Amino acid sequence: MKRVRCPKCDNYITFDETKYESGQSLLFECPECGKQFRIRIGVSKLRATQKEENPDENANENGFGSIVVIENVFHYKQVIPLQYGDNVIGRYMKGSKTNTPIETNDPSIDITHCIINVCRDKKGKLRYILRDGPSYTGTFVDNEILGDKERRVISDGSLFTIGATSIILREAQTKDTDSI
């Protein structure tokens, strides 16, 4: 499956590219806003999206780790780098101010669903603290819903769920464990 982004509202539309020939022009109608647009399937374009669909699980662009959004019927797998301070996680919408948006069609994810705060403890070690948005459907850690005011410390490999979507925390790798 491949995806294209609606030029008007930024909604993602997925389609089965194996049904079409390279060079073929396809007409899409966006289910969100009704905009019609064409794309031409090109060999280079398909190749360029390949990397996007096989993201590096240990991506650590900012030095503060990342979250891995597990693929499901609503979206592709995504690896999103974290930053120091509050990482506001939610469904991507054009114009929304979340700094950690997930590109998804999952309707049960709020625009502002949960927040991971990245900070350092007294020894300088990174700490990851998860809290709910507040969201309509809640934030779950190990199938347990977080309370309204709850702050949950999560660590490398922690799995949490928002809507129908599961996310894994990947902590930043410390320098001395890097392989040579």
Which residues contribute to the site for Zn ion (CB under 5 A)?
6, 8-9, 11, 30, 32-33, 35
Strand partners, 140: 145, 161
Looking at residue 175, what DSSP letter applies?
G
In angstroms, give the least distance from the CB of 146 to Zn ion: 33
Contacts of 80-83 with CB under 8 Å at 24 or more apart are 82/116, 82/118, 82/128, 83/118
C-beta closer to Zn ion: residue 39 or 129? 39
C-beta closer to Zn ion: residue 32 or 86? 32
In angstroms, give the least distance from the CB of 92 to Zn ion: 13
Tokens, residue 20? 């079409």
Looking at residue 68, what DSSP letter applies?
E
In angstroms, give the least distance from the CB of 4 to Zn ion: 11
In angstroms, give the least distance from the CB of 96 to Zn ion: 15
C-beta closer to Zn ion: residue 3 or 77? 3
Backbone dihedral region for residue 70 (phi beyond 0: left; psi -120 to 50: alpha; all else: beta): beta
C-beta closer to Zn ion: residue 93 or 159? 93
Of 28, 53, 55, residue with least CA distance to 40: 28
Q: Give the C-alpha separation, 150 to 42, whole Å.
A: 49
In angstroms, give the least distance from the CB of 175 to Zn ion: 44
Q: Give the C-alpha separation, 79 to 53, whole Å.
A: 10
C-beta closer to Zn ion: residue 38 or 51? 38
